[in-house]
Amino acid sequence: MVAILLIEDDPLVRRGLELALSRHGHDVRTAETGEAGLAEFRSAAPELVVLDLMLPGIDGFEVCRRIRGAGDVPVIMLTARGDDFDVVGGLAAGADDYVVKPAQPTVLDARIRAVLRRTHGGSDGVRAHGELKIDTAALTVSLRGETVSLTPTELRLLLTLSRGPGRVFSRQQLLEEVWEHDYLGDSRLVDNCVQRLRAKIEADLANPLYVQTVRGFGYRFGPV
């Protein structure tokens, strides 16, 4: 499940893409303006942004520049025209790819997965969060330069949570993604694994920096 922020002002296109991408297994949040999209982005960073070029208020170029200035979250730009000016402008603003509207959901889903493979699966697929580094290619973790020994389940939990810093995962979502269980009875598995993981990567267990509890909901990673 990929956390996607879709910024699109056309309500029919927005709703259609939201439903279609959800059917492809993505966790989709939406915003109808550039301002609302940036607010959503700041509240919880997604793993990828699908961004319409022609927005009221702040246009897609400026939204893309601000997102790029805030970090490395990949951006796919939606353009109605697909002419060279829009494509070059979008890529110059920091977009990772573009799709010409009307976007076919299967094509957009394929482009999303391709961008994420390039972003997270490259030879330097290292996620750096403060003093914690997670190499998603080598499947190794280090803290202040020292290797951290994790069990496979602890590593899967860390990879899942760190995929979207600031994003809240419920225990049920973590059970499904990390343990591939689909019932609530084993939610203590999550709590116990979080405790073991914290003991290995947190300096202050009473005030965890990386794996934080969101009371009544679940857990989130940072952001750090």
pTM here?
0.58
Q: Is the same domain home to 84 and 135?
A: no
CATH number at residue 172: 1.10.10.10
Structural domain boundaries enclosing 185: 126-221
What is the count of structural domains for the chain? 2
Q: Is the same domain home to 8 and 106?
A: yes
Q: Alpha-carbon distance 29 to 49, whole Å?
A: 10
**Domain end marker among 97, 120, 143:** 120
Look at residue 98 in the predicted model and tell me its pLDDT: 83
Encode the chain (224 residues) as per-residue pLDDT tens digits. Answer: 678 999 999 999 999 999 999 888 888 999 999 999 999 998 888 889 999 988 888 999 899 999 988 877 899 988 876 566 777 777 777 888 888 888 888 888 888 887 887 665 544 567 788 899 998 878 899 999 999 999 988 998 998 898 777 778 888 888 877 876 655 567 788 999 999 999 999 999 999 999 999 988 899 998 76
Look at residue 81 in the predicted model and tell me its pLDDT: 64
**Domain end marker among 120, 150, 178:** 120
Q: Is the same domain home to 174 and 73?
A: no
CATH number at residue 17: 3.40.50.2300
State how beta strands 140-143 and 132-135 pair.
antiparallel
Q: Is the same domain home to 60 and 31?
A: yes
Q: Is the same domain home to 170 and 94?
A: no
Q: Is the same domain home to 140 and 116?
A: no
Residues 34 and 42: beta-carbon distance below 8 Å: no
Handedness of CA 73, 84, 110, 106 (dihedral sign): positive
Q: Alpha-carbon distance 6 to 50, whole Å?
A: 5
Q: Is the same domain home to 153 and 185?
A: yes
3-state helix, strand, coil in the chain (%, to 5): 45, 20, 35
Look at residue 123 in the predicted model and tell me its pLDDT: 43
What are 139's two structure tokens? 């499947």
Q: Is the same domain home to 87 and 194?
A: no
Q: Is the same domain home to 143 and 161?
A: yes
Q: Is the same domain home to 12 and 71?
A: yes
**Domain end marker among 120, 144, 178:** 120
State how beta strands 3-7 and 48-52 pair.
parallel
